[in-house]
Amino acid sequence: MATAAANPKSAGLTIRAVANGDCVYRGGPFRPWMKISRKGDTISSFLSEDGQNWQPLASEKVVMSEQVLIGLMVCSHNNGVLNKAMFDHVTLSPQP
């Protein structure tokens, strides 16, 4: 499992390399643009101020099958509080 997250103060990538395993979080400063890419078993995340110039945030190896499910999520990290988010400029591209 890999998730990328952003809030007004920071952005990060959370990786769970094995089912029911521990999560590893790699964080950095907030940027309005985030990108996640997959090459083989490596998930990488990038941050950008303008959506054009990307700075690497983190890369982690996650053993996975060739086909995976992807999606967008939002979480309040509080079971008693609902959260809302708006995703825009979302694109999916096949691996080269």
DSSP letter, residue 10: E
pLDDT at residue 55 in the model: 92
4 within some domain: yes
13 within some domain: yes
96 within some domain: no
Average pLDDT over residues 46-73: 85
23 within some domain: yes
Three-state DSSP string of 28-49: EECCCEEEEEEECCEEEEEEEC
92 within some domain: no
Q: Which domain holds residue 79?
A: 1-87
38 within some domain: yes
Q: How large is the C-alpha radius of gyration of the chain?
A: 14
Average pLDDT over residues 52-74: 84
What percent of the chain is modeled with pLDDT above 70?
A: 90
How many distinct structural domains can be found in the chain? Answer: 1
Number of neighbouring beta carbons within 10 Å of residue 33: 16
Q: 9-43: per-residue pLDDT in tens?
A: 777 777 777 778 888 877 778 888 888 888 888 88
